[in-house]
Structure 1
Amino acid sequence: MLTTTLLGFCSFVQWVPGSDVVVAQNRNNLCVWYSIDSPESATMFPIKGDVVDLERLEGKTNVIVSEGVNTVSYALDEGLIEFGTAIDDGDYDRATAFLETLEMSPETEAMWKTLSKLALEAQQLHIAERCFAALGDVSTVRFLHQTNQIADKVEKEMGGDGTAHYQVQARVATLDKNFKLAERCYMEQNAVDEAIEMYQELHMWDDSISVAEANGHPELENLRSGYLSWLTDTAQDEKAGEVKEREGDFSAAVSLYLRAGLPAKAARLALSRPELTNNTDTINRIAASLIKADFHERAGDLYEQIRNHQRALECYVKGGAFRKAVELSRAAFPSEVVRLEEAWGDHLVQQKHMDAAINHFIEAGCSLKAIEAAIAARQWKKAMHILELQDDSATAKFYLKIAQYYASVHEYEVNL
């Protein structure tokens, strides 16, 4: 059960007898909720003393406030209280009559909303239409007016309760956004066309087509075509691509994904369908879009799939996917492995991953870079180990750096 805090620092709270009105005190304010279903719509006015009681006599309700030696009465709006009483009694006609005598205010607006909800639940659709008119909800008023016309026509021609008719029940369910209930109302009467039309009016094409498929509707293909045209006209290329993918038209789906600026989605589809993977033109189009969108690694995957190893390698390097580049080179371009290991190390240095760069420089035979990376990573022992294997005079400068470090930590016994 959902709970809402109405008031803090509350010294008095009480229901007005026989209604859903709540009276409470918050420090120097008297707070009245004429519609407790709208806790944000409280009427507040200042008082000087403390609320001690409520009195309801001869059709009037007073809040008794003690101001020291004096007692003061504050009269509540009896019309608003009577609305609550009418609601409790289920007399929505009387509640409507009360509200129509009041000026529009935050309190009365909250009451119209409460009454509209209750009237819909009770299938009192004419009252609900009046409520939404008072609230200025033109579209709902129009919808309910059409619904009431259906109900009135059914009562006139067939007798009985017009609101029980399946069309009325379906429209009320639609208004409540319970579309599956509305569909069930239509389908129980075998009104397939009406269910399809409902979903089309709501632009819920997937549900419309599902109903048509389930019932073998003769217009199924026209519905699909209309849906695709609508998606295209409204620039929903991604959704149109998904429709084409479900239908098995994968080439069209790829084109739509590319037009929607989704080359990665097109690549995912292409890699999953052999007929697309074997189509060089399609792969090249997708790869070009991936490169334009800076998805170089994904483009490399595509090129490798069609055995265009040179382009795949270029894309992997440009995208910083050196692991894939090295693995590909070991199989296709062995002479490039050393160069790529150095480039991998340079890339890691740019990313400030000095520790990870060391081994790649060693694999590439770039000892000076490996030592610099080890020192930058403060891997002093590793730097010394690499130095011990060198006979290049250019490495002498590194001994000084390492010596200065060990001196700073008072490890004077280290032999360099």
Structure 2
Amino acid sequence: MNGHKVIAYLVDKQTICIKHINSQATTIINHETRVDFIELNARGHLLLFRDRKFVLHLYDVTSQSKVHLLSDCGYAQWVPGSDVVVAQRNNIMCVWYNLSVPDEVVTREICGEIEGIERTSGRTEVIVDTESSLSSYLLVEELIEFSLAIDDDDHLKALSILRQMELTPQTEAMWLQLQDASVKVHNFHTAEQCAAAVNDHSRAAYYRSLVKLSSKSDAGGLMNGQQSLRLRAKLFEMRKKVDLAEELYLGHNRADEAIKMYDDLSMSAEAIAIAEHYQGNEAGDRKRKYFEALVSSNQNAAAAELKVDSKEYLEGIGLYVKAGMPGRAAGVILEHGIVQPLSLIENVASALDKNELFEHAGKFYFERLNKPKLAIDAYVQGKMYRNAVDLSRKYEPSEVVHLEKQWGDYLLMVKNKPDEAIEHYMEAHAYTHAFEAALKCKRLSLASSLINELDCAEAHPAYTKLGHHFVRAGNFDEAETCFTEGNQHIKAINMYIEAGIWDKAEILARKYLSEDELDIFSRRLANYLEGLGHLERAEQILISNHAIAEVVSMYTKNRLFDSISHMSVKSAAAFVSETNKGIAELLEEEGNYKAASKHFCLCGDWSQAVSLCKANEMWEDAIQVAKTHGEQESVNEIAYSCFVSSSEAAGLELVNKLGVANEALEFAVERGCFDHALSIAKCCEHEKICYVHFKYALQLENTQQYSKAEVEFLLAKKPREAIDMYLAQRNFDAAARLATEHHISEATILAEAEHARESGDFKMAEGMFLMANKPQFALEVYEKEGMWDEANRIISAYFPEQIEENRHQDSTRSEELTPGGAVDTNSRLEDDAIDWCETGGGNADCIPIQRDNAVKVDLFAIEQDIIGQRCDHAISALMSLGAPYGQEYMDLYRRIVVGVLGRDDSRHDESFEVQARSVSDLKELLRQARINANGMPAPSFERMFLAVHYTDMLYLSIHHSLWDISTKCSITLLQFLDYIPPDKAFFVAGREAKRQEHISLAFILFNRYVDVYEAVEENDLSSANIDDTLDGTIVPAIVA
């Protein structure tokens, strides 16, 4: 509007910037919380904004002031093209028609949420979205039009709008707003009408006079003429800037106009001052008339001031006294050194006393009348003791002590400043009063030192008082000292008892009381503590006095049997068992079996506690006692007893409820009660049934009932154990039958045989191979192990046609077993087993063997890739293996890292991008391996990972032109010269430092690069002199 272009935007979450496009002027608003809404008005001089606390604010760009408009604001918007604001708070719509008075807000209850504002055809409606439909609320168009008229400086339109409206507080504020706007543009006619509309008739008359002056100035055609001058001066008067109006008049040699202005404003003193300067002859008459007017109107003070200004001091002094202002009269006398007439000075002094101006009176008596005694009395009457004491030290020294005492009393009793009173009491040697003041201001250490100045008769009660103050302050040690110094030992003992510090109370009692008194005191203290419920402390006191019977009686009376046991442990260890046993028997007689069992345990007879619980069917307690004091076998026995204590169904329900079904089952199995064990297993996991059958089968096997054992093994779903049983008995037919019946594949049998061979059980391995109908495998095992007798036995039984060949091999066996001719039988067996499994229909049992060999093949391929500098292939292969982690893989990872980080990565061709991808893939591989290390990778692996990580950051920062970060990464990589070629590391670091214009650092790094390069060319790293590289930094010497 008006050619101005203004924008407002958020600099950050809490800062708003308002910028004038034309002038480039900028306004910054810093808010304490995050801002979530901003909107400028049409003219760009008012800004609405709301923060995250839903508080709506208004910012005036012109005055740079902020006003809080509304809390809990859910919606806010300017009415289009106006300075009217509509906002919503809960179900209340708020409208500000006149923002110059923010408190004048029109509210209206609505149903729903405001959606927007529509302004068409002279109507302004607020659209509200209710749950069912849209509704609208009409705004007062006249008020909106008034706002627009004010913004457009269309005062006539604004005036016509207001004339149509009734006078209310809101419209009155609008009249005043229009009046101010009119005065700013010198539209006094409109301003007069505004003042008249609000019944401000005097202001309206003033504006009318300004209208006349303005019209005369316009008629003359000279805005700088006399009428214009008066008009400008009147404007200054209206703004209450009469000094500027005076300056304007005097600047145009119109002193008479200035004097007339002050006369009109009843500012005679200012008029006289101008008259004296510009109208010397007339000034005297004016001043005389003014003086007579003041005296006649009984304005003696002003008349006195006029006389003093005229250097007529005596008349001025008299007028001041007459006006009841003897202080000013005294000031004139002292300021101008007036000593005569003496009667006038005495009258002033008397008036000072009468008006209780004691400070002036004291000064007057001393300086003008030379009466220090009267001055001291005046100062004392005025409670100005400092002045009184200072005078007394010089003229009345005998009164100093008395005055100091009075001063202290005044400070303590009237001013309630005991800390200041202490010093004056000490000056007056009133140590008792100083002690009381010190207590009142809680300066207890000072009070303690002041007691030393008191005599014995005063000191004892003072110590007692001070002791009570220390008690209230919680300083019991000092309180004890005070009480003992004041011979109040009982008070000290009672203090400790009330504070619960019974040890010190007992120490004081033993120190200051006789034996008989101490015994009585201890018993009374114990009874007191018992009444408070502090039985343990009462026990300690009684035991210290060897009153064990009283302790037992106290605990028995309170039925605290646990405490009796505890007391027995501390006082007489020999009574522990007897005490607890007696308590247990008493509780058993009373039927309190649970507590009785506890005390049986305390006396060491936990088996009796178990018996008591079992006898009363307290199975849960019995189990708990057994778990706490016995072994697992005892728990199992009780659980089994619980099961057999009632019918089978009830027993099962009970052990399940107590959660000891497994314990009962274990005991039944151990005792061979397999019928009960099977019954219990039915309510447990399904595996428990198999477990019982398995245990029963083992028992049958031990008793050589193999047929029954086979049945139980099969019920336990463990045919393999049945086969192992028959193999152990060399009953291969039965083992083969079970293997066939239960579809146990030959591959599985061969795998088991191989396992037996590896564990050294060659007989078992032979049986398994024969069961799989693979005698040749058994033969190869014996041949490999050098067990030639067993090998010959296999040949005789299964390969008779090879007997002659075997004899021939015996004669040449030593030659065939040389290193050059050794045969890897294990590998051949493995390969045969795999081939047999694959030709047998791809049986899944061969998969573990195949997988193991596949891993070996992959590792061999990775090794070849590294040797052939195909590190990318090696990385992909290790990723396909799941990024394995283990000591056996560390060397592979190290060689891959050295190979990748040692490549050329020139920035000028595609090798940089290729290298960056390789480093990124390598970092991902090492990251996966770290995860597989279960959070505990080796330190060397962590160091390797950091080298790759920083290299990856270097490439990323170079790619995104983040040169500061790339420089830092290149310098950091100088720590990892065991993985990066030194010449490459120093060159890259120098290059990045140069890019950042770190010239000195780049020079050092390039210099080191040249040293390393020449040393490498000469194959002598010792000549590189690297040990002093970047001394004092984190960069180490090169690792050779």
Does the TM-score normalized on the shorter chain lie above 0.5? Answer: yes
Aligned to 1:281: 343
Could you tell which deviates more after superposition, 31-40 or 232-241? 232-241
Q: Which residue identity is paired with 2:433? A: A
2:242 paired with 1:182 = no
Q: Are residues 81 and 343 of structure 1, via their aligned partners in 2, closer, same or farther at CA, if it must alter by over 3 Å?
A: closer
Residue 382 of structure 1, CA deviation? 4.8
Conserved? CA contact 1:43–1:107, under 8 Å: no
Give me the whole-angstrom Cα distance separating, in 2, the residues matched to 1:166 and 1:31. 47
Greater mean deviation of Cα atoms: 24-33 or 310-319: 310-319
Q: Please tell me whether the aligned partners of residues 33 and 42 of structure 1 are also in contact (alpha carbons under 8 angstroms).
A: yes
Rounded to whole Å, the distance in 2 between the matches of 1:409 and 1:121 is 81
Match for residue 402 of structure 2? Answer: 342
What TM-score comes out, normalization by structure 2 length? Answer: 0.35
| Counterpart residue identity of residue 350, structure 2 | A
Once the two structures are TM-superposed, the CA of residue 239 in structure 1 deviates from its matched residue by: 3.8
SS at 2:68's partner residue? coil
**Cα deviation code 1:221-256 (max 9, x no counterpart):** 233334444544555444443333333222233233
- Code of the residue aligned with 1:195 in structure 2: it is A
Partner of residue 56, structure 1: 119
Which amino acid counterpart does residue 220 of structure 1 have in structure 2?
A
Conserved? CA contact 1:357–1:373, under 8 Å: no
| Aligned ranges 1:137-176 → 2 under 5 Å | 137-156=200-219, 158-159=220-221, 165-176=228-239
* Pairing 1:303–2:370 present: no
**Which AA in structure 1 matches 2:306?**
V
In structure 2, stretches of 5+ residues that fail to align are 1-63, 413-417, 439-446, 468-478, 487-1040
**Partner of residue 410 from structure 1, selected from 476, 481, 484:** 481
What one-letter code is carried by the residue in structure 2 that aligns with 1:271?
L
1:244 counterpart letter in structure 2: K
CA distance in 1, matches of 2:357, 2:268: 33
Hey, what's the Cα distance between the residues in 2 that align with 1:327 and 1:221? Answer: 48
Q: 1:358 touches 1:373 (CA, 8 Å); kept in 2?
A: yes
Change (3 A) 1:397 1:252: same
User: 1:130 Cα shift?
Assistant: 0.6
**CA separation in 1, counterparts of 2:244 and 2:361?**
47
Question: For residue 355 of structure 1, what is the amino acid of its counterpart?
Answer: I
* CA–CA separation in structure 2 for the residues paired with 1:244 and 1:118: 47
CA contact (8 A) 1:151 1:162 kept: no
SS at 1:271 equivalent: helix
**Counterpart Cα distance in 2 of 1:45 and 1:262:** 60
**Structure 2 CA distance for partners of 1:63 and 1:295, relative to 1, 3 Å:** same
Question: What's 1:73 paired with?
Answer: 136
Structure 1 pair 7/218, CA: closer, same or farther in 2 (3 Å)?
Answer: farther
How big is the alpha-carbon RMSD for the aligned residues of Structure 1 and Structure 2?
Answer: 3.2
Tell me the secondary structure at the aligned position of residue 334 of structure 2.
helix
Structure 2 CA distance, aligned partners of 1:287 and 1:103?
Answer: 65
| Number of the residue aligned with 2:423 | 356
Question: Distance in 2 between the 1:405 and 1:74 partners?
Answer: 77
Measure how far apart 1:216 and its partner are: 4.0
Q: Does 2:458 correspond to 1:398?
A: yes
Q: CA deviation at 1:377?
A: 4.7
Identity level (%): 30
- Which amino acid in 1 is paired with 2:401? E
Q: 2:264 is matched by which residue type in structure 1? A: E
Give the CA deviation at 1:209: 3.0
* Paired AA for residue 129 in structure 2: S
Gap change, CA 1:137 and 1:401, over 3 Å in 2: same
Secondary structure of 2:88's counterpart equals strand
3-state SS, counterpart of residue 285 of structure 2: helix
Write the letter of the residue equivalent to 1:303. Answer: Y
C-alpha distance in 2 between matches for 1:62 and 1:132: 33
**Counterpart-to-counterpart distance in 2, 1:222 and 1:115:** 46
**Closer, same or farther: CA 200–375 of 1 in aligned 2, 3 Å:** same
Larger Rg computed on CA atoms: 2
Greater shift, 343-352 or 113-122, is seen at 343-352
2:402–2:428 Cα contact (<8 Å) kept? yes
State the 1:42 CA deviation: 1.9
Q: Give me the whole-angstrom Cα distance separating, in 2, the residues matched to 1:30 and 1:322.
A: 66
Shift of 1:148: 1.8
**Partners in 1 of 2:218 and 2:422 — Cα distance?**
84
Deviation of residue 66 (structure 1)? 1.0
Question: In 2, distance between residues paired with 1:409 and 1:226?
Answer: 83
The separation in 2 between residues aligned to 1:88 and 1:385, in whole angstroms, is 83
Match of 1:21 in 2: 84
Please report how far the alpha carbon of residue 384 of structure 1 lies from its aligned counterpart in structure 2 after TM superposition: 4.0
For the structure 1 residues 385 and 123, does the alpha-carbon distance in structure 2 shift closer, same or farther, using more than 3 Å as the test?
Answer: closer
Structure 2 counterpart of 1:293? 355
Note closer, same or farther for the CA distance 1:97–1:302 as it changes in structure 2 (3 Å cut): same
How far has the Cα of 1:202 moved from its partner?
1.5
Q: Which amino acid aligns with 1:397?
A: A
What is the rounded CA distance, in whole Å, between the counterparts of 1:223 and 1:302 in structure 2? 35
CA 1:229 to 1:4, structure 2 compared with 1: closer, same or farther past 3 Å? Answer: farther
Q: Quote the offset at 1:47 in angstroms.
A: 0.9
| Contact 2:463-2:485 within 8 A present in 1 as well | no
CA shift in 2, pair 1:111/1:317, >3 Å? closer
- State the SS of the aligned residue for 1:294: coil
Secondary structure in structure 1 of the residue aligned to 2:70:
coil
| Counterpart-to-counterpart distance in 1, 2:389 and 2:251 | 64
Report SS of the residue matched to 1:6: strand
Distance in 2 of aligned mates of 1:347 and 1:310:
17
Q: In the aligned structure 1, how far is the partner of 2:242 from the partner of 2:125?
A: 47
Cα deviation, residue 165, structure 1: 1.7
Map 1:376-387; keep pairs closer than 5 Å: 376-377=436-437, 379=447, 381-382=449-450, 384-385=452-453, 387=455
- Evaluate the alpha carbon distance shift between residue 234 and residue 77 of structure 1 in structure 2; reply closer, same or farther with a 3 A threshold: farther
Q: Which residue of 2 aligns with 1:391?
A: none
Residues 322 and 24 (structure 1 numbering): CA distance in 2 closer, same or farther, change over 3 Å?
A: closer
Greater CA deviation, 90-99 or 129-138?
90-99
Deviation at 1:385, TM superposition (A): 4.5
Q: Distance in 1 between matches of 2:143 and 2:381?
A: 73
Indicate yes or no: 2:321 matched with 1:258.
Answer: yes
User: Quick check: 2:83–2:148 contact (8 Å CA) kept in 1?
Assistant: yes
Structure ranking higher on relative contact order (CA contacts 8 Å, 6+ apart): 1
CA, structure 1 residues 9+224, in 2 after alignment: closer, same or farther (shift >3 Å)? farther
Deviation at 1:375, TM superposition (A): 4.7
261, 265, 272: which is aligned to 2:335? 272
- Tell me the amino acid that sits aligned with residue 203 of structure 1: S
Contact in 2 for aligned 1:199/1:205 (Cα 8 Å): yes
Residue 261 of structure 1 aligns to a residue whose secondary structure is coil
Partner of 1:201: 264
Aligned counterpart in structure 2 of residue 373 of structure 1, from 411, 418, 433? 433
Correspondence for 1:390: none
> Greater shift after overlay, 253-262 or 402-411?
402-411
CA contact (8 A) 2:294 2:303 kept: yes
Judged with a 3 Å threshold, the aligned counterparts in structure 2 of structure 1 residues 49 and 238 are, in CA distance, closer, same or farther, namely farther
Aligned length: 395
SS of the counterpart of 2:191? helix
CA–CA separation in structure 1 for the residues paired with 2:466 and 2:183: 83
